Amino acid sequence: MGVLRQHLLVLEPEYHERVWGGQRLRPSDPPIGEVWIAHGPSVVSAGPHAGETINALIADCGGALVGTAVAERFGGRFPILIKLLDCADWLSVQVHPNDEQARRLVGPNEFGKTEAWYFLDAKPGSRIMAGVKSGVDRDTLAAAIRGGRVLDVAEHVEIRAGDALLIPAGTLHALGPGLLLYEIQQASDTTYRAYDWGRPQSTGRKLHIEESVEVTEPVGPADKVHPEIAPGTGAASVVDCALFDLDLVRVSPSTPWSSDTLGKSFHFITVIEGTAELVSGDDRVRLGRFETALVAGSAGAFEIRAVAEPVSLLRAMVPD
């Protein structure tokens, strides 16, 4: 087993073009819809492990990187994928399988996909689809999916900046135009499209009607939350589930924010406003807006300081 030579690892973003993407993450034509900011193939951008991926470091360093509880629970598999999404148009109406369904329908080592959204920006009137309307049963839902009438049964939810929502596996959902968001999910890219607004189908973008019928549950949306933090330095829970925890953190220039991995789980820190300095022992890194660092599970206590102006960030981890 190798030695982990840094406990704060800044990660390189991966930009992905999408037909529904916008221009807020990076000006581009075709437009950028997703930035994958943290997952197993993410590459460390600087320091002793520059150029290495999270997956390679797991193979070499194990629990020192991911934490003892994560290593015990998931072995050498990295469990989380985090993205930023910029939606200029409706995404497909889609659904994801749970763990059992993913193993059966995709492969024996596949994760299902429960995810959560924290909305960084929302233009007036922005909406999502999440779940189905009250009174829609399984047979009605299946008929709507097969008949191309998903929009008739989907529940719409209005969104404003600062809202957050958990999307359990099996929940029908779609993101609408005008939204900029942070998405945390299980490390799976399995998506079943039930409806795609008449866009041309291709090998990489096709409908999955029967798979959607099989895995979609006739459930409404989970409760929308809007975490608030009092002025100054503090934190508030955004999502708390068995697969991941997500917190909103604000740090004032006068008062740093402290946390501790307790050796159990890595933490991901993503700055959403301002500039932050992370300190763990002799390690020190600086993050600007939308930059992400992995705090190794073995880091223990660490501190986040605001540089010049107040900083807002999201902290993600895996609960034990």
Q: 116 pairs with which residues across the strands?
A: 166, 184
Tell me how far CA of residue 35 lies from CA of 39, 74, 88, 129, 252, in angstroms.
Answer: 11, 25, 15, 22, 27
Catalytic one of 73, 77, 103, 193:
193
Alpha carbon distance 218, 210 (integer Å): 15
Alpha carbon distance 25, 238 (integer Å): 22
Strands, sheet with 292-295, edge to edge from the N-terminal-most edge strand: 8-10, 292-295, 267-273, 311-317, 245-251, 234-240
Looking at this protein, which amino acid is placed at residue 189?
D
Residue 36 and residue 18 in contact, taking contact as beta carbons nearer than 8 Å: no
Alpha carbon distance 85, 90 (integer Å): 12
Residue 122 and residue 173 in contact, taking contact as beta carbons nearer than 8 Å: no
Structure tokens at 150: 């998903």
To 5 degrees, how large is the angle CA 196–CA 238–CA 23? Answer: 45
Q: Is 250 a catalytic residue?
A: no
- C-alpha radius of gyration, the chain, whole number: 20
Residue 281 and residue 153 in contact, taking contact as beta carbons nearer than 8 Å: no
Alpha carbon distance 70, 49 (integer Å): 21
In Å, how far from its chain's centre is CA 200? Answer: 27
Helix (H) or strand (E) holding 317: strand 311-317
Q: Annotated catalytic sites, by residue?
A: 193
